[in-house]
Structure 1
Amino acid sequence: MPQDKMDDALDAYLRLLDSKGADAGVIAYRRRILARLNQILRSQRGGTDIYRAAVDALLSLCPPGDRAGAMTAAREYYYFWLDDVKKLAALNARDGFTTHHIRLPAHGSFESLQQRMLSDGFSSYPPSLDIYLGQLYELGSDESMLAERGELIRPLLYLLHGHPHHPDSFRTAIDAMLLHLGDSQARDTFLIIAREFFYYWISFPDAGVRAAPRPA
């Protein structure tokens, strides 16, 4: 894509964030991160593989604490870069954009994330996990499939722990989780599972979330 088209795409993305109430610091950060991504993408044609490789290169240049935020910005910017109006309209309709800084620790391998869970003694799983796995069991999933899904969802729930029960938190935790997965096939598998699980997670939260007063 020519540089001027990418500049237009970036401006359109930032205008959308501004219209949704993002503050100046968030917009400046996203502009800086995505301008660097545009430099990596310069003279490349549109496509998932090229974009994914450019995002990987971008993340390698970011300090560890910035990588989850960079992943979020790159994910949201993707359809602006493709100029896919239908996808953008669908994302906007379901509030698919974040307007705050992403500050979720994300570093190390998947195995290191599992070790952190073990060291913390984490076992605070919401009812959505058992409901999701139980539904898969009823639909005929075998033990290996259930184990694979459980192995990927439990670390996601660990990353979500302590964050508001809101789709923004789920998207942020997904972005952080992707940084722990070492290859594109593992990331693609995780994304499929996370999309399946989201509807259970949002519908069946912990009792404390259900008991909290709803906003007026």
Structure 2
Amino acid sequence: MADLAAALSAYLHLIARLGAVPGVVDERRALLQRLLARLRRERRDADAYHAAVDGFLNDCAADERVLAITCAREFYCFWLDDMQKVVEATARAGFSIHNPAMQVLETLDALLALMRSQRFARFPPSLGLYLGKLFEDGTAEEEIRRRESLLKALLFLLNPHPVSNTSYRMAVDALLLHLPGHDDKQQLRLLVREYFPYWQAFPFAHHRLAGRAGDGEPPADDGA
């Protein structure tokens, strides 16, 4: 699949086959065409891709960035022409079929202020169970409060969207955009991976009864 247009077509065909509606496909096509314009003369390796993606994301409006990150991540194996990775990602439900609009504000404090202003307090049982385990393990109260604040922000971002591992990953991407430093981002990545099994196993009762708990694997840095 040497031709970039063919790679794009293959990606869009796959998500359509998985259930993405035409509007989702069209929005992703428009974003990825902008990324492809940066990739046309690049060698096909991780460094070149990441550099092109960085420039692409910098040019995106704030309300485009979460979806742009998703598109860049999911398109990566198509750009590499690595069909084995495509098969593996498909098997673990690694391709999303929705374009959820995630809140992206200037800072984490602004996001938490918005959450409080909306009096949002709709947190699944997983949050209390995870925080309780931290307490039982002797984690310092300050650290528990720090994690609680981040996870509440994550769950606030997730609340309106389909319950799936891809929604979780996109909410993580959105939350990362609110953190300024590399260390803060890395700590969040570790936190959301640790919390993911709780979120998956202990959803709201109506999600559990409907069989809609999160599926698949926790968010991972997969090269894109």
TM-score tier, shorter chain, comes to 0.7 to 0.9
8 Å CA contact 1:110, 1:182 repeated in 2: no
Query: 1:62 aligned to 57, 60, 63, which one?
Result: 60
CA distance in 2, matches of 1:85, 1:135: 41
Which residue of 15, 37, 40 maps to 2:35? 37
CA apart distance, 1:186: 2.9
Structure 2 Cα separation of the partners of residues 68 and 180 of structure 1: 11
Decide which of 153, 160, 180 is 1:182's aligned counterpart: 180
Deviation, structure 1 residue 214: 5.0
Is the 8 Å Cα contact of residues 34 and 73 (structure 1) preserved in structure 2? yes
**Counterparts of 1:145 and 1:44 in 2: how far apart (Å)?**
43
CA contact (8 A) 2:100 2:161 kept: no
| Deviation for aligned residue 1:137 | 4.1
Q: Which residue is equivalent to 2:218?
A: none
Which residue number corresponds to residue 166 of structure 1? Answer: 164
How far off its partner does 1:52 sit?
4.3
Q: Comparing 158-167 with 5-14, which one deviates more in the overlay?
A: 5-14
- Deviations 1:122-177, CA, capped at 9 Å, x for gaps: 23222101212333444454445434422321100111123333334323322322
1:87-106 to structure 2, matched below 5 A, reads 87-106=85-104
User: In structure 1, how many angstroms separate the alpha carbons of the residues matched to 2:133 and 2:154?
Assistant: 19
Match of 1:61, as an amino acid?
D
Q: CA 1:175/1:33 → structure 2, altered by over 3 Å: closer, same or farther? A: same
> CA offset at residue 190 of structure 1?
1.9
Verify the 8 A CA contact 1:181 1:187 in the aligned structure 2: yes
3-state DSSP of counterpart to 2:106 = coil
**Is 1:121 equivalent to 2:82 in the alignment?**
no
Q: Distance in 2 between matches of 1:102 and 1:57?
A: 23
| One-letter code aligned to 1:79 | C
Unaligned runs of 5+ in 2: 213-224
Q: Deviations over 1:69-121 (max 9, x none)?
A: 22221221223334444443332112111123332332322221122122223
Which residue does 1:46 correspond to in 2? 45
How far did 1:45 drift? 5.2
Identity across the alignment (%): 40
Mapped partners of 1:198, 1:157: distance in 2: 11
Tell me what 2:204 maps to.
Answer: 206
* TM-score, length-scaled by structure 1: 0.80
Go from structure 1 to structure 2 and tell me whether the alpha carbon gap of 1:11 and 1:163 turns closer, same or farther (over 3 Å shift): closer
Runs of 5+ unmatched residues, structure 1: none
**Within 5 Å, which residues of 2 pair with 1:129-144?**
129-139=127-137, 141-144=139-142
- For the residues of structure 1 that align with 2:88 and 2:138, how far apart are their CA atoms? 32
- Give secondary structure in 1 for the equivalent of 2:110: helix
Structure 1 22/190 Cα, relative in aligned 2: closer, same or farther at 3 Å?
same
Cα RMSD (Å) of the superposition? 2.9
Larger helix percent? 1
Q: Which deviates more, 91-100 or 116-125?
A: 116-125
Q: Does 1:156 align with 2:174?
A: no
Distance 1:85 1:141 in 2: 43
Length, aligned pairs only? 211
